[in-house]
Chain A
Amino acid sequence: MSASSTAEVPFVPKTKVGRITNFVDERVGGSGILRDFGRKVFPDHWSFMFGEVALYSFVILLMSGTFLTFFFDPSMAETHYTGSYTPLSNVEMSVAYNSSLNISFDIRGGLFFRQVHHWSALLFVASLGVHMLRVFFTGAFRKPREMNWVVGGVLLILAMAEGFTGYSLPDDLLSGNGLRIIDGVIKSIPVIGTYISFFLFGGEFPGTAIIGRLYVLHILLVPAMILLMIVIHLFMVVVHKHTQYPGPGRNDGNVVGYPLGPVYAAKAGGFFFIVFGVVALMAAMFTINPIWNYGPYDPSPVSAGTQPDWYIGFVDGALRLMPGVVNDFHFEYIIFGHVLTLNVLLPALVPAGIIFTVLFTYPWIERWITKDDREHHVLDRPRNAPTRTAIGVAGFTWYCVMWAAAGSDLIATHFHVALNDVTYWLRTLFFLGPIIAFMVTKRVALALQRKDREIALHGRETGRIVRLPHGEFIEVHAPLDDYKHYKLVGFESPSPLPAQPNEHGVVTRKEKRRAALSRWFFEDRVAPATPAELEAAHGHGHHEAIESVEEQKSLSH
């Protein structure tokens, strides 16, 4: 662009670097890209860093994983250990486990890279999850970002798949038992379960094929899909531009923040090194997955207190919570000579199915209830969307109950309580927890909104007690400045939308249901303070102020 548009006087670079840059620029049009993106504005907030953590830990995973592939051998052939870890000397094991031990004990930096890889994998899934919670609670999934929310959900599933396939590769006792559980779950699938199991393991469990197959999935297929999804995700972030938190000077028509060059690039780029540094610190100081303690996979032994990696925990916990027999009722039936084993099938598929179905469809559910088809670029403070926040916390609580159940035995041993009681309590919380969480969260959000109103109308408490001449004590309230004040009052509080007739003038039953949900969604909503209310609050004493507001409200009805 730069050279051709000023065709009359061709640009001649003066320095060597300039000549190289110009050569490339003339052939790829870098100037135009830099013009578009060099000063692109990015809003700044600590909660926007979770997505960055996820991205950076994925980069660390690619780098450390590539190193590990140079030394790892995914074969399940039998061998005898001859490496330098003497407790396992001459023990029969698979080549895969043998090479994992060699990486840990005989390759300089191998143990460090294994621990970097494992820690960043745990961090990757965790930061994805927290990033999605941030996006949910701030309403960032709303139009135009619904599809990017779905891409994020796919990334979460892929990350869990990537984690599980990698976890199984060392072929140690712990991961082998994990595979055995997966095999048991697969076998419970009606009609085709046994076939899927035989096809996955290349015959009976454990066979000699599974590690090689998981290896291809782990280092090729799944990471390629993750990379593709990340590209789509970031492309859409560029198209949409970033969301921003509400505040003075910020609205749906603009984006306020720091330019990419230099401040944002420096902060985000520097942050990569910080994430890497923290992961390295963890890998240096905290042992993760000490496979040499577990021994090679053998179908007979198992250690007490077995745990999966944290992100699989909620499924494992659901498996633990489901009773197999209640009184004399067995959850395993025989129907027409075939076995339907609901005690495995239900907990393995239903909770995860519900969580991901609601997760993927939520943007459309809320859009349908509120009939809100506008673009939203300013985020909601979670308290200003109480019902959504309550739904999110309810779902999160449900997840956490199942997650805690995956450690029921550890809870029992650490707190010296009966394992059975822990399970009974968690079974109860499985049903009641989300309901309690919903009610409590909604009330807390509404209370926070009222507190905001209170501060907006009467100022903040200064802690200064003054005695008036007639003996009354009051606490002095100081008014907020305009900018802080606007943050408390500058939000939308939409009202429930009554059922609307369709083009034939008929109010359908579906529309009535929608209206009922809309009433529920905006129930007890708190409106932002208005200038009139503020004026009234200032014009009178404390009590009179509130009364006058009420009078004014009732007059306006």
Chain B
Amino acid sequence: MGNHSDGSPNHSGTVATAGQNVVEKFQDPGLPPHRLRPADTDPRAAKRAERQVAILFGISVIGTVIFLVSYFAIDLGQDSTIATIRTQNLLLGLGTAFAMLGIGTGVVHWAKALMPDHEVSEERHAIRTEEDRQAAVRIVEDIVEETGIKRRPLIRNTLLGAVALAPLPALAVFGDLGPRPDDKLAHTMWAPQDGKLKRLTRDPDGTPIKASDVTIGSAFHVIPEGLNELKEGKLNAKAKAVVLLMRLNPDDLTISKGRETWSYNGIVAYSKICTHVGCPVALYEQQTHHLLCPCHQSTFDLTKECKVIFGPASRPLPQLPISVDAEGYLVATSDFKEPVGPSYWERDEHERLINS
């Protein structure tokens, strides 16, 4: 392998073979002689080092003063600006840095320049001696003998059983950490309520969207009507219901069987929650009609019903069936026909449930 500098490995002498270890080795020359530092020989150098250490400690004092002054002199009132906060942060930080670095560098300089720098050697001792091991074995044997556990298997076996079962309650008490998932992941807020279809509204202000507002090439971030009015669980509902709305030239769309009525004049709505691990698929490339997830770069082709064309997602984004109501506003004609967001163990079961 490769070019050995001294020729082939078998003849160069650089590559050892079995038996090499019996070859005589170099003797350890022992610790190198101690080298004197300037401060060891020259009293003036020692004095200089002493002064340098004192100056470093003095810098630390200055740092502490800077910290205290900037803490008390700069007030963060209601009228303070970001610039005030930045200035105070800078001064507090520089004060602390000087205070700490002054002490640190001073002490290290003291140690390196003035304290004895003789390296010393200490013997290592066996971590375990054979004598200790035998004594320990005797002690353990005595302890085991005194408990009588070997002679009384009834005690041993019942104890083992009791100890094995005792931790179970400690696991069981975590049972109320959360509710059972049931089919919560299968439904979103888009399901019509009391026969009334939900309007598509703008995120975040909740104003309804007219079909005529959606021009070709435009995209809307959409939330269901009534989301902002929810008293609780607003983020939970939003985490499943957010939708991207776009209008393409109807000729560019490939529509599969059964989805003919899901779009309106080239206006399509897709779940914004990535089918990979749930990030919002927030980037729309208008020219290529691609949707891109900024977290892991899964790319979906809008013209092919959001089929995955790149990245780690494995499933298309779910489509929301939409139409217009009597006033010309966009509405969802039903909930999503499959669970939105990342896949989970029961997902297929839920999809069948939705479509049954």
On A, residues with C-beta under 8 Å from B are 40-41, 44, 78, 84-85, 104-109, 111-112, 115-116, 144, 177, 180-181, 183-185, 187-195, 197-207, 209, 239-241, 248-249, 251-259, 262-263, 266-267, 269-278, 280-281, 283-285, 297-306, 316, 319-325, 330-332, 334, 337-339, 341, 343-344, 347, 375, 377, 408-409, 419-420, 423, 443, 447, 450, 453-454, 482-483, 485-486, 489-490, 492-496, 498, 524-534, 546, 549-550, 552-554, 556-557
Sample of 23 A–B contacts (CB below 8 Å): A183-B342, A184-B341, A191-B345, A198-B179, A199-B178, A203-B184, A256-B121, A257-B119, A258-B120, A266-B115, A267-B107, A276-B96, A299-B239, A302-B282, A319-B276, A332-B314, A339-B344, A377-B124, A486-B29, A493-B16, A494-B21, A495-B17, A524-B15
Contacts of A85 in B (CB 8 A): 82
Confirm or deny: B85 has a beta carbon within 8 angstroms of a beta carbon on chain A.
Answer: yes
The answer on a CB contact under 8 Å between B93 and A267 is: no
Given contacts A198-B178, A202-B178, A298-B238, contact A253 B123 (CB under 8 A): yes
Contacts of B2 in A (CB 8 A): 443
CB distance from A286 to the nearest CB of B (A): 10
Closest to A439 in B: B1
Q: Which residues 273-317 in B have Cβ within 8 Å of A in the complex? A: 273-274, 276-280, 282-283, 294-298, 308, 310-315
Given contacts A248-B30, A267-B108, contact A334 B121 (CB under 8 A): no
CB distance from B246 to the nearest CB of A (A): 15
Q: When the two chains form the complex, which single residue of B16, B115, B277 contacts A525, counting CB atoms closer than 8 Å?
A: B16
Q: What 0/1 readout, one digit per residue, does chain B (234-268) give for beta carbons within 8 Å of chain A?
A: 11101110100000000000000000000000000
Q: When the two chains form the complex, which single residue of A184, A271, A276, A303 contacts B277, counting CB atoms closer than 8 Å?
A: A184
On B, residues with C-beta under 8 Å from A are 1-2, 4-7, 9, 11-21, 23-26, 28-32, 71, 74, 76-78, 80, 82, 85, 88-94, 96-108, 110-112, 115-117, 119-124, 127, 174, 177-181, 184-185, 203-204, 221, 223, 233-236, 238-240, 242, 272-274, 276-280, 282-283, 294-298, 308, 310-315, 341-349, 352
Contacts of B92 in A (CB 8 A): 109, 112, 284
Closest to B127 in A: A144
Closest to B118 in A: A258
CB distance from A224 to the nearest CB of B (A): 17
The answer on a CB contact under 8 Å between A284 and B93 is: yes
Alpha-carbon separation in the docked complex, A375 to B125 (Å): 11
Contacts of B274 in A (CB 8 A): 184
CB distance from A549 to the nearest CB of B (A): 5
Alpha-carbon separation in the docked complex, A496 to B16 (Å): 10
Alpha-carbon separation in the docked complex, A183 to B183 (Å): 17
The answer on a CB contact under 8 Å between A344 and B276 is: yes
Alpha-carbon separation in the docked complex, A78 to B235 (Å): 11
The answer on a CB contact under 8 Å between B32 and A248 is: yes
**A111-B89, A241-B124 provided; 8 other pairs, C-beta below 8 A?**
A253-B124, A263-B111, A269-B107, A270-B108, A281-B93, A284-B93, A453-B14, A526-B14
Given contacts A263-B111, A524-B1, contact A177 B295 (CB under 8 A): yes
A-B complex: 8 closest residue pairs judged by Cβ atoms: A284-B93, A184-B277, A273-B104, A527-B16, A270-B107, A277-B101, A249-B31, A277-B100
The answer on a CB contact under 8 Å between B14 and A527 is: yes
The answer on a CB contact under 8 Å between A338 and B348 is: yes
CB distance from A499 to the nearest CB of B (A): 13
CB distance from A526 to the nearest CB of B (A): 5
The answer on a CB contact under 8 Å between B97 and A281 is: yes
Contacts of A529 in B (CB 8 A): 26
Contacts of B312 in A (CB 8 A): 319-324, 343-344, 347
CB distance from A34 to the nearest CB of B (A): 16
Given contacts A180-B277, A306-B294, contact A41 B14 (CB under 8 A): no
The answer on a CB contact under 8 Å between A200 and B177 is: yes
The answer on a CB contact under 8 Å between B13 and A550 is: yes
Alpha-carbon separation in the docked complex, A84 to B311 (Å): 42
The answer on a CB contact under 8 Å between A181 and B100 is: no
Closest to B237 in A: A204
Contacts of A263 in B (CB 8 A): 111, 115-117
Contacts of B313 in A (CB 8 A): 324-325, 343
The answer on a CB contact under 8 Å between A485 and B26 is: yes
Question: Residue among B18, B115, B240, B308 with the most chain A CB within 10 A?
Answer: B115
Given contacts A283-B93, A302-B295, contact A344 B115 (CB under 8 A): no
CB distance from A329 to the nearest CB of B (A): 10
Contacts of B112 in A (CB 8 A): 267
Q: When the two chains form the complex, which single residue of A209, A259, A262, A337 contacts B349, counting CB atoms closer than 8 Å?
A: A337
Given contacts A267-B108, A408-B297, contact A258 B29 (CB under 8 A): no
The answer on a CB contact under 8 Å between A194 and B344 is: yes
Alpha-carbon separation in the docked complex, A554 to B13 (Å): 8
CB distance from B130 to the nearest CB of A (A): 15
Q: When the two chains form the complex, which single residue of A281, A334, A494 contacts B348, counting CB atoms closer than 8 Å?
A: A334
CB distance from B6 to the nearest CB of A (A): 6
CB distance from A274 to the nearest CB of B (A): 4
Closest to A343 in B: B314
Given contacts A283-B93, A299-B239, contact A495 B344 (CB under 8 A): no
CB distance from A551 to the nearest CB of B (A): 9
The answer on a CB contact under 8 Å between A530 and B25 is: yes
Q: When the two chains form the complex, which single residue of A190, A490, A552 contacts B28, counting CB atoms closer than 8 Å?
A: A490
Given contacts A108-B88, A241-B124, A338-B348, contact A302 B178 (CB under 8 A): no
CB distance from A509 to the nearest CB of B (A): 22
Alpha-carbon separation in the docked complex, A547 to B124 (Å): 43
Contacts of A299 in B (CB 8 A): 235, 238-239, 242, 273, 280
Given contacts A198-B179, A254-B123, A277-B97, contact A531 B24 (CB under 8 A): yes
The answer on a CB contact under 8 Å between A304 and B107 is: no
Alpha-carbon separation in the docked complex, A415 to B223 (Å): 36
Contacts of B20 in A (CB 8 A): 493, 495, 527
Q: When the two chains form the complex, which single residue of B17, B100, B127, B282 contacts A273, counting CB atoms closer than 8 Å?
A: B100
Alpha-carbon separation in the docked complex, A316 to B177 (Å): 27
Contacts of B278 in A (CB 8 A): 180-181, 183-184, 205
Alpha-carbon separation in the docked complex, A276 to B103 (Å): 11
Contacts of A256 in B (CB 8 A): 31, 119-122
The answer on a CB contact under 8 Å between B277 and A319 is: yes
CB distance from A303 to the nearest CB of B (A): 7
Closest to B6 in A: A546
Contacts of B315 in A (CB 8 A): 324, 330, 332
The answer on a CB contact under 8 Å between B111 and A267 is: yes
The answer on a CB contact under 8 Å between B28 and A248 is: yes
Contacts of A423 in B (CB 8 A): 297, 310-311
The answer on a CB contact under 8 Å between A284 and B90 is: yes
Contacts of A419 in B (CB 8 A): 297
Contacts of A525 in B (CB 8 A): 15-16
CB distance from A240 to the nearest CB of B (A): 7
Contacts of A495 in B (CB 8 A): 16-21
The answer on a CB contact under 8 Å between B310 and A420 is: yes
Closest to A41 in B: B122
The answer on a CB contact under 8 Å between B76 and A106 is: yes
CB distance from A495 to the nearest CB of B (A): 4
Alpha-carbon separation in the docked complex, A544 to B89 (Å): 70
The answer on a CB contact under 8 Å between B122 and A266 is: no
CB distance from A347 to the nearest CB of B (A): 7
Alpha-carbon separation in the docked complex, A556 to B74 (Å): 82
Contacts of A276 in B (CB 8 A): 96, 100, 104
CB distance from B11 to the nearest CB of A (A): 6
The answer on a CB contact under 8 Å between A526 and B16 is: yes
Closest to B296 in A: A320
Contacts of B342 in A (CB 8 A): 183-184, 187-188, 341, 344
Alpha-carbon separation in the docked complex, A321 to B98 (Å): 44
Contacts of B76 in A (CB 8 A): 84, 105-108
Closest to A60 in B: B100
Alpha-carbon separation in the docked complex, A484 to B316 (Å): 66
Contacts of B181 in A (CB 8 A): 194-195, 197-198
CB distance from A489 to the nearest CB of B (A): 5
